[in-house]
Amino acid sequence: MRTIPPPRSRRGRGLALAAVFALLLGALSALPALPAQAATVSPITNYGPDGEQTVRFDTGGNAVDAHDGAIQRFGDTYYLYGTSYDCGYQWTVNSTFCGFKVYSSPDLVHWTDRGHVVDARSCKFCFRPHTVYDKATRKYVMWVNDQEAADKFRVYTADRPTGPFTERPVPDLPAGTHCTADLDVFVDDDGKGYLTCSNAGWHIAVIELTPDYLRAAGPYDVTGVTRVEAPSIFKRNGTYYLTMSDPNCGYCTGTGTSYLTAQSPLGPWKGRDAWTVEDGALTVHGGLYGLSQQGEDWSDYTYSFDVAPLPTTSGTSAQAGFSVRMNQDDHGYLFLLTGSGTANGKLSVLRRAGATTASHVVQLTKPIVAGEWHHVSVTASGSTLTTSIDGVQVDTYTDATYPVGKVGFREWNGANLESARFDNVRVTSASGQELLADDFSGDLSKWVVPTAGTSITANSCGGQPAQVATLRQRHGAPIYMYFSDLWDGHTNEALANFHWQPLTFGADGSIDPVQCGNSTVRLDPGHPGRQAAIPGLDQGSGAAGFRTGCDVAGDVRREQSFTAGRGGRLASLAVTAFKDGTEQGRVERTPPSEPLTVEVTDGTRTLWSGSVPAAEIGWSARNVTVHPGIRVRRGAHYTVRISSTTTTGCYGVAYNDHDPYRGGASAVSHDGGATFSAEPGRDLKFFTTVRGA
């Protein structure tokens, strides 16, 4: 749940500048539409002045509700496709699928809601709509992930980018790809289409499509990366780039983004060297699992080696991983030797099948210090695994799940990258036969070396990557727009914001690190958009620079004061609001059961009161409009107050701490409305309309 902190204290000059900026934005949005221009410069605003995430509102004033999707340019217009979460869709905990939506924009700033391209229905795993145009068939083709479909994906076609889309036969993908999850669709310069997708082992595959982009054509490639997802392909200067979430972590608040490159969409795909031989030893930096070339049928053996765990990226610990009886990445027995350098170390023993299915931890009798060498051996005999460190037996584990398999090493990818050095590897059978020996004085030919992506951000600016959109321009190079969903850390994904940023590149073609801020882009084609006109608009706080928080329930009430700009009837009053549960973590959220009460006061008396049923308020921030019809006087001060008697969940608001509205301010009560505390510099997102008497 996003709570609402007190506003920061601000001095006059900062408030004045913020107010002038807000007024300028309001004035610009009120200008009449300009004729289409050949090009425009657009601000890509992800964060406010203090670095806080801000909400993108559409031209109607509602939060853009299209997540885990893609941006495309068709003709002179830009389109955003995504999953809607406004009806309360919560990954893994319900099947209340809200449908797929599309928005259009002339400038990547002003987005108009064009409705659903796939309607709401019951679906527990429906995500990631990606749309391309097929010049040969003159059809727009949309692929989506639906894990209840026969092959986990569905395909739709339409004559226009906004639909209506018609479902086509479920595509049959090659069995060797095992694709089940995230996807992207890429069209090459020659018109060939490719699907890239992740599978149950969190590998990534690239599949050539038929000329109509509706089915697999046959050829495919499975990249060597593991524990990754959210792939996206683009091409620049003859080189193909594949970006991905690294590591995989659905709806997390900060997974990394890395990339591979190739000279063909079907590979071979190359990344950084996770394994290198340095000074006669193996150095491993992330990459996850690397296994021995031989050993699929090895059963009883002793696996021994020297190891020096190295500090993780955070520098707070060191960890080295190794595995036995593992013929497939992450399916077998994994051991993690961990230490902080001060307290005694520990050995974690895990049975893995894509996830941990059994585990235990052994507390060691001495510290494990980063950079210090230790000798480790694991003996697999029947169903018993015996581990020794520096000649001392520390653990015996009995499990019969995996009777045979290879040996290997494993270091974690991601923000807290793990590293270690290994040397003097030996595998001997129960009879004493040497099965493997490597002192790393030569190459790595005895190992299946993992492919590792080159990192461009450790946390995707607080979310998970969705796409790199290739936005071709009439003149000059394309814009390669990096797109990540800034998930909110709980199951109201409707509140997730976005990070959009044009990628930049080094002279060698490498992608520069992602900078988590705001940017500008020159669009050609493009022309300035505007917010939709509100008939009779009198007062309002605009649509820029807002964030969300949820606490209106029970004794907590919120209000916003305003000054009527003209006299007449208060025809409508809109406050941007949403509903949410107060539970923490990935559990089903319980929203409010009671209505939201809206009151208008003159500071002493309640002039009007009404209620909005909970069912009419969405999970994303959007206008909640009432029609008081009361008379207001020009220059008089009024207050809109919201409250609820609900005992479950909360109602949330959009607020801006940079004083976008100078005719009033917000206040909060924590005692059921008996007293209100002013919140200087803060305004809620609202507007009023006034009609003549």
Tell me: the pLDDT tens digits for 298-340? 999 999 999 999 999 878 799 999 999 999 889 999 999 999 9
Query: Which range has the worst mean pLDDT, 223-232, 523-532, 675-684?
Result: 223-232
Predicted pLDDT of residue 125 = 86
- Break the chain down into helix, strand, coil percent, rounded to 5: 5, 50, 45
Predicted pLDDT of residue 2 = 61
Element (H, E) at 301: strand 301-310
Predicted pLDDT of residue 547 = 97
> From CA 525, how far away is CA 33, in angstroms rounded?
16
Q: Which fold has domain 32-271+455-523?
A: Tachylectin-2; Chain A (2.115.10)
pLDDT average, residue stretch 565-584: 96
Of 349, 369, 371, the residue nearest 358 (C-alpha): 349
Other beta carbons within 10 angstroms of residue 237's beta carbon come to: 7
Predicted pLDDT of residue 648 = 96
In this structure, whether the domain defined by 537-691 belongs to CATH 2.30.29 is answered with no
Per residue in 529-553, pLDDT (tens digit) is 999 999 999 999 999 999 999 999 9
Q: What is the DSSP string of 215-263?
A: SEEEEEEE-S--S-EEEEEEEETTEEEEEEESS--TT-S---EEEEEES
Q: Looking at 354-439, which runs of residues are DSSP E strands?
A: 356-367, 374-381, 384-389, 392-398, 408-411, 419-429, 434-438
Predicted pLDDT of residue 290 = 95
Rounded to 10 degrees, what is the CA torsion of 476, 141, 65, 525? 20
Predicted pLDDT of residue 414 = 66
Residue 37 has pLDDT above 60, yes or no: no
Supply the CATH classification number for the domain 277-446.
Answer: 2.60.120.560
pLDDT average, residue stretch 482-502: 91
Predicted pLDDT of residue 534 = 97
> From CA 155, how far away is CA 159, in angstroms rounded?
14
What is the location of CATH 2.60.120.560 in the chain?
277-446
Of 30, 36, 142, the residue nearest 79 (C-alpha): 142
Given a contact cutoff of 8 angstroms between Cβ atoms, the answer to whether 653 and 559 are in contact is no
Q: How far is CA 642 from CA 153, 538, 653, in A?
A: 43, 20, 10
Q: What is the DSSP string of 10-57?
A: --HHHHHHHHHHHHHHHHHHHSPPPPP-S-EEEEE--B-TTS-B---B
Per residue in 147-171, pLDDT (tens digit) is 889 889 999 999 999 999 999 999 9
Those residues whose C-beta lies under 8 Å from the C-beta of residue 75, and which sit 6 or more positions away, are: none
Residue 19 has pLDDT above 50, yes or no: no
User: Cα 68–73–75 angle (5° rounding)?
Assistant: 150
Of 277, 283, 198, the residue nearest 233 (C-alpha): 198
pLDDT average, residue stretch 481-487: 96
Residue 693 has pLDDT above 80, yes or no: no
> From CA 146, how far away is CA 125, in angstroms rounded?
6
Q: Looking at 446-567, which runs of residues are DSSP E strands?
A: 447-448, 451-452, 454-457, 464-471, 479-486, 497-502, 519-523, 537-540, 547-552, 557-563
Predicted pLDDT of residue 585 = 76
Predicted pLDDT of residue 93 = 78
Strand 77-83 relative to strand 112-118: parallel, antiparallel, unpaired? unpaired
pLDDT average, residue stretch 438-465: 94
Which of 77-81, 249-253, 287-291, 474-478 has the highest average model confidence (pLDDT)?
Answer: 77-81
Q: How far apart are the first and last CA of the chain?
A: 43
Handedness of CA 579, 584, 590, 592 (dihedral sign): negative
Predicted pLDDT of residue 226 = 82
Cis check for the bond before 591: say yes or no (omega within 30 of 0): no
Confidence of residue 28 (pLDDT cuts 50, 70, 90): very low
What share of the chain has pLDDT > 90, as a percent? Answer: 82
pLDDT average, residue stretch 270-286: 94
Residue type, 616: E
Distance of alpha carbon 234 from the chain centroid:
19
> From CA 183, how far away is CA 129, in angstroms rounded?
8
Predicted pLDDT of residue 23 = 34
Residue 31 has pLDDT above 50, yes or no: no
pLDDT average, residue stretch 17-39: 42
What is the location of CATH 2.115.10.20 in the chain?
32-271+455-523
